[in-house]
């Protein structure tokens, strides 16, 4: 099946720092989604991207749909302790109905 | 967020027994998905449905079957549970398919332990 490569696997940062993570695929995707998961909870949708080059913000979060349609980036500015969690990218390959996920980036924010 | 509930939330079962997990959504979403989450593997798609009685396999479908007799309900069955199926199972639902309204909304998860 389609593999999404998400990096880094984990990040340890200080409160106030900016964070960047990315996701790549071996084929062209039509949709990129970014989710956050808190412990014991289901993933929650943060941002949805549908067009190559699209840049979308949600508060301190900004995500971009790569121009090649094979990657996407998520940036978090001025991190705070409640940003702690696992961030997942997800996407749909062109013509597919399957929604596949990356392995996640675990974010730890030190106060 | 979509009104999506999973039951049970926790279950312990013995190897070789059948198990059915239930997912119920109140948003009239066409698409529904079952994932399993394991450390180091992220979320892996088991099966999905694109309409009543319309289902297809995901990347880890062996040992699992699904049924969707109504728009709001999607059942995942482990015909004969094995220890390798110990996992957290998530259901999700969404409006659209390829390239449109693809956002999927998740339930709270079911923690299944096979002993």
pLDDT in tens, chain B (115 residues): 559 999 999 999 999 999 999 999 999 999 999 999 998 889 999 999 999 999 999 999 999 999 999 999 999 999 999 999 999 999 999 987 665 667 899 999 999 999 9
DSSP bridge partners of A62: A57, A75
Residue of chain B whose alpha carbon sits nearest to that of A48: B103
Under the banding of pLDDT at 50, 70 and 90, the label for residue A1 is low
Mean pLDDT value of segment A4-14:
96
**B115 CB-contact burial (10 Å; exposed 0-12 / middle 13-18 / buried 19+):** exposed
C-alpha of A84 from chain center:
14
Instruction: Tell me the shortest Cα–Cα distance from B115 to chain A, in angstroms.
Output: 21
Q: To the nearest whole number, what is the mean pLDDT of chain A?
A: 94
Using a CB–CB cutoff of 8 Å, tell me whether B44 touches chain A.
Answer: yes
Neighbours of A71 (CB within 10 A): 19
Using a CB–CB cutoff of 8 Å, tell me whether A92 touches chain B.
Answer: yes
Using a CB–CB cutoff of 8 Å, tell me whether A43 touches chain B.
Answer: yes
C-alpha of B70 from chain center:
15
pLDDT, tens digit (0-9, with 9 covering 90-100), for A35-88: 999 999 999 999 999 999 999 999 999 999 999 999 999 999 999 999 999 999
Give the per-residue pLDDT at B40: 85
> Which residues are CB-contacts of A82 (< 8 A; sequence separation ≥ 6)?
none
Using a CB–CB cutoff of 8 Å, tell me whether A39 touches chain B.
Answer: no
Give the per-residue pLDDT at B99: 59
DSSP string, B43-79: EEEEEEEEETTEEEE-TT-TTEEEEEEETTEEEEEES
Q: What whole-number distance in Å separates Cα of residue B79 and Cα of residue B81?
A: 6
- CB-side exposure of B62: number of CA atoms within 13 Å? 2
């Amino acid at each position: 099946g389609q593999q999404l490569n998400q990096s880094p696997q984990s990040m340890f940062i200080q409160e106030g720092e900016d964070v960047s993570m990315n996701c790549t695929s071996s084929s062209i995707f039509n949709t990129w989604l970014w989710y956050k998961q808190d412990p014991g909870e289901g993933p929650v949708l943060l941002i949805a991207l549908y067009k190559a080059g699209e840049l979308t913000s949600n508060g301190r979060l900004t995500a971009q749909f790569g121009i090649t349609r094979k990657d996407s980036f998520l940036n978090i500015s001025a991190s705070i302790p409640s940003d702690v969690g696992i961030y997942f990218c997800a996407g749909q390959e062109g013509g597919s109905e399957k929604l596949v996920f990356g392995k996640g980036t675990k974010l730890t924010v030190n106060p | 967020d979509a009104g999506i509930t999973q039951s049970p939330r926790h279950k312990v079962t013995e190897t070789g027994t059948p198990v059915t997990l239930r997912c119920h959504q109140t948003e009239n979403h066409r698409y529904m998905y079952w994932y399993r989450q394991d450390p180091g593997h992220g979320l892996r798609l088991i099966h999905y449905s694109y309409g009543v009685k319309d289902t297809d396999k995901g990347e880890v479908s062996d040992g699992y079957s699904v049924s969707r007799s109504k728009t709001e309900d999607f059942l995942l069955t482990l015909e004969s549970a094995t220890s390798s199926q110990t996992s957290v199972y998530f259901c999700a639902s969404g409006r659209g398919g390829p390239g449109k309204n693809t956002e999927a909304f998740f339930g709270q998860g079911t923690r299944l332990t096979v002993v």
